[in-house]
Structure 1
Amino acid sequence: MPETHFDAWIAPRYAALWPELFAPALVDATVTFLAELAAGGPALEFGIGTGRIAVPLSRRGVAVHGIELSPAMAAEVDGVPVTLGDYATTTVAGSFALVYLLRNTITNLTTQDEQVQAFRNAAEHLAPGGYFVVENYIPRLRTTVFAATSRHVGYEEYDTATQIAVSHHWWVIDGELRAFSSPHRYVWPAELDLMARLAGLVPHERVAGWDRAPFTGDSTDHVSVWRKPARAASPIPAGPGATTIAACGSGSDG
């Protein structure tokens, strides 16, 4: 079952814990990319978090709805409707021109079945011709220090037998040392493409970042876009051993 690691202590401090995610240039590039794909239509964010991107996207004239596991994170969202639940299975009314899943949030689902179901759920919410966007990192497959400042140290451990990476963080906040760890199922671009195909989506674009820099063998991150065909192809049926996942919550965009 998916579970949230983003609690009532993290939610109000989210921007202080990960300030790089709130850099104006990054937020603007992300919002511009997504607004162009939405093309005036409504958008749905899986794992909306505190509304880091959803709120400025709504200010661009895009009608945004969010799904979020953590009540504490959802309570921080200002002016955008949020449905509490697991983005792999939770549904909201209507259809959308754009569904998006940011900042490695696909890895918060720690089984392949859950990740596949998230793609199916995205496809079911999309109008024909709509787009599904996933922002994710390329796994390093070795212990990697990804943050090292006077206020934040973070590193990730990989278990290739289970395809699980555990992210460890230490922060000094208000003079207090805080530790935080969370498990993630790392996933390769090719595996995401197969999940999209299972959901009846077709490749549209893959770039190295929100500035649309080319994706190459040296890229450390990617933004991948799939499209629901105007005449939607039937998704590949789940096999007899497929898992049905109860709606219980999964986030956050972080």
Structure 2
Amino acid sequence: MTSSEIWDAETARTYDTPGEGMFAPEVLDPAVDRLAELAAGGRALEFAVGTGRVAVPLSERGVPVAGIELSEAMIERLRAKVDESVIPVVQGDMATARVEGEFSLVYVVYNSISNLVTQDEQVECFRNAAAHLGPGGRFAVELGVPGITHTSPGTGAAVFAVKPGYMGVDVYDVLNQRLVSHHFRFDEGRRARLGRSSQRYVWPSELDLMARLAGFELESRHADWRGAEFTAESRSHVSVYRLPA
């Protein structure tokens, strides 16, 4: 599926789950706290801003926020919350689209960088972040650690989430470093709906090399937004890269 097919009007309509999942306060608040700290009083730019899950509360903290978003439908949902004067958004690809002005922080959260499905696009995303930052500016990336080590022998697939009415399964293409996430949603009867999204998974070491190509240095890496230690058992990481001052 193409990005426009994945992030369509139906997806945008059901994306927000106030108070639950990635919108739960225990998930969202630490991310907003940390990003406000990283912005250090300057402007912030969110790549793949979506419906404003992070951008809106970050703006409410007093951080000037702008965004880049590919999906028109997602932007429309954001506009139902705040207008253009509060969070200006450029519609386009986060690897190439430009926003006017200089920022102290660029960030991309919740695995969104993996929606760029080639290495070249991901490298350009880092370069685009660097182009928006002033000296000493930071680029924060939240990304899962590839779960391929958790696949069953001979299957190339791993269950990543199970909860009432939902099951998520990742299927890996190791040769091309790609995965397809399968989202199964069940109604109260016997019917199920399937949604798919394609991603390119990235190991932290490869991400660090992309950063170096764009002129960044790794400033910190933690397992989550609260600052937990990143270990071999961590399933995700928050990596902060910084340009030389």
Structure 1-normalised TM-score? Answer: 0.87
User: Of Structure 1 and Structure 2, which has the larger fraction of its residues in helix?
Assistant: 2
Cα displacement (A) at 1:174? 8.4
How far residue 12 of structure 1 moved from its aligned partner, in angstroms, is 1.5
Q: Which residue identity is paired with 1:94?
A: G
Alignment of 1:153 with 2:153, yes or no, is no
Q: CA deviation at 1:184?
A: 0.3
Q: Which residue of 1 aligns with 2:154?
A: none
1:135 aligned partner: 142
Among 162, 170, 193, the residue aligned to 1:178: 193
Output aligned runs, 1:1-254, within 5 Å: 3-4=3-4, 5-16=6-17, 19-77=20-78, 78-79=81-82, 80-141=87-148, 142=151, 143-172=157-186, 177-230=192-245
Q: Is the 8 Å Cα contact of residues 17 and 23 (structure 2) preserved in structure 1?
A: no
Q: Are 1:54 and 1:64, in contact at CA under 8 Å, matched by a contact in 2?
A: yes
User: Aligned partners of 1:105 and 1:6: how far apart in 2?
Assistant: 12
Classify the secondary structure of the residue corresponding to 1:32. Answer: helix
Separation (CA, whole Å) in 1 of partners of 2:174 and 2:96:
27
CA distance in structure 1 between the aligned counterparts of 2:126 and 2:45, rounded to whole angstroms: 13
Q: Deviations over 1:8-64 (max 9, x none)?
A: 001021124994100012111000000001011100000001100000000000000
How has the CA–CA distance of structure 1 residues 173 and 126 changed in structure 2, closer, same or farther, with 3 Å as cutoff?
A: farther
SS in 2 for 1:180: strand
Q: Which runs of 5+ in 2 are unaligned?
A: 152-156
- Take 1:164 and 1:126, find their aligned partners in 2: how far apart are those partners? 30
Q: Distance in 1 between matches of 2:209 and 2:32?
A: 27
TM-score, normalization by structure 2: 0.90
Percent identity for Structure 1 against Structure 2: 52
The amino acid across from 1:61 in the alignment is G
Runs of 4+ in 1 over 2 A off after TM superposition: 15-19, 172-178
Counterpart residue type for residue 151 of structure 1: G
**Contact 2:18–2:24 under 8 Å retained in 1:** no
Which letter maps to 1:46?
F
Q: CA RMSD in A?
A: 1.7
Q: Please give the per-residue CA displacement for 1:79-135, whole angstroms capped at 9, x wherever unaligned.
A: 222110000000010010100000011110000000000000000001111100000
Higher RCO, 1 vs 2 (CA within 8 Å, ≥6 residues apart): 1
- Deviation track 1:141-178 (CA, whole Å, cap 9, x = no partner) reads 13111121221111000111010000000113687632
| In 2, Cα distance between equivalents of 1:136 and 1:223 | 7
Give the count of matched residue pairs. 229
Partners of 2:192 and 2:147 in 1: CA distance: 27
Q: Which runs of 5+ in 1 are unaligned?
A: 231-254
Aligned to 1:252: none
